[in-house]
Structure 1
Amino acid sequence: MGQIEWAMWANEQALAAGLIMLTGGVVAVAGQFKGWYFAAYAIAAGAFVCLLEYPRSKRQKGSTMERCGQRYMTAVLKVFGPLTRNYYIRAILHAALAVPAGFLLSTILGTVCLGIASGIYLLAAVRGEEWRPIEQKPRERPHMGDTIKQPPSNPPPRPPADARRKQVVEVGGQVNPIPVEVE
């Protein structure tokens, strides 16, 4: 059995945590909860976590499904180099971002989820994983000689495939109008 890539789990967990923190913050601000400044912080922290975690990392083995529009945020993360690539830094960052949002009931679920993601990122960092961008491979155009094995023998309109196998047989110098299969 293959080795688990913990960073993939942490990425999904942190993205969900960011969305939960963002939603909890919006609810608290809209509901005018006491401690609304923690909710405003949760909105900002949740948005930051979502932007940081949106681009998936390239898997070590196999293929990785890229998220829609991920390449734009990937370019931003590549600019920051080791700050966004290193999972030790992400684990510490997520743990630090989670603490202030824990003081408000509407954002505590996002705080717990972000804490779990921080722990998973720490495990991924200990196991030597690191964020790698998914690079776009240039598409190769298929060579016409490779795709067409043999050109069609009769001009269009062509009969369906099952009718093409039947051949007309000459009987006594006349063409039989009823197709007969020849084996």
Structure 2
Amino acid sequence: MGQIEWAMWANEQALASGLILLIGGVVGVAGQFRDWEFAAYGVAAGVFVILLEYPRGKRRKGTTMERPGQWFLAAVVKLFGPLTRNYYVRAILHACLAVPGGFILPTVLGTVNLGIASLIYLLAAFRKEEWRPIQAAQTQKGHVGKSIHQPPTNPPPRPPAEHRRKQMDDGRTGAIEVTATP
């Protein structure tokens, strides 16, 4: 069985916690909660976490689905080098960002989730994982027509190849004939 890549879990957890922190901060500011300044901090921290965590990192093995429009933010994250690539730094950063949100009720859930993401990033760092950008997929300029001998004529689901050969030999095409009766 393969090893779990903890950074992928941490990325999803941190992105969700950034959204929750942002929403909780907006609720705290709009609701004029006591000490609403912490809620305003939650809005700023939520936006920062979302921008940092939106670009996914490349997996060690297999393919990684790129999020829509992540190429721009990935370039920004890549620009900061070891400050954003290293998961020890991300774990400490998320832990520090989570503390002030715990002082007001609307941002507590985002704070707890960000703390959990921090722990998962710490585990990923212990496992020697590191953020790497997803490279743009290279387009193949080969001729596709050579690999396709004859495109299928029947819509899916198609019968197995043996049945298709028999149908072609018998002269049946698989189409249903409709005749009108007067």
Aligned 1:19-168 pairs, distance under 5 A:
19-143=19-143, 146-147=146-147, 149=149, 166=171
Measure how far apart 1:165 and its partner are.
7.7
Measure how far apart 1:149 and its partner are.
3.7
Task: State the distance in 2 between where 1:25 and 1:109 align.
Answer: 11
Deviation digits for residues 20-70 of structure 1, max 9, x if unmatched?
Answer: 000000001000111111000000000000000000111111111111111
- Aligned to 1:102, the other structure's residue is in SS state helix
- Aligned to 2:103, the other structure's residue is in SS state coil
2:26 counterpart letter in structure 1: V
Measure how far apart 1:143 and its partner are.
1.4
Q: 1:80 to 1:147 in 2, by over 3 A?
A: same
1:42 counterpart letter in structure 2: G
Q: 1:117 to 1:164 in 2, by over 3 A?
A: same
1:77 counterpart letter in structure 2: V
Measure how far apart 1:144 and its partner are.
5.4
1:116 counterpart letter in structure 2: I
Task: State the distance in 1 between where 2:117 and 2:169 align.
Answer: 61
Task: State the distance in 2 between where 1:39 and 1:51 align.
Answer: 18
1:137 counterpart letter in structure 2: A
1:146 counterpart letter in structure 2: K
1:134 counterpart letter in structure 2: I
1:53 counterpart letter in structure 2: E
Q: Percent identity?
A: 69
- Could you say which structure has the larger radius of gyration? 1
Return the TM-score normalized by structure 1.
Answer: 0.80
2:21 counterpart letter in structure 1: M
Q: How many equivalent pairs are there? A: 158
2:69 counterpart letter in structure 1: G
Task: Give structure 2 stretches of 5+ with no counterpart.
Answer: 151-166, 172-182
Task: State the distance in 2 between where 1:148 and 1:40 align.
Answer: 59
Return the TM-score normalized by structure 2.
Answer: 0.81
Measure how far apart 1:163 and its partner are.
7.6
Deviation digits for residues 91-145 of structure 1, max 9, x if unmatched?
Answer: 0000000001110011000000000000000000011000010001220123156
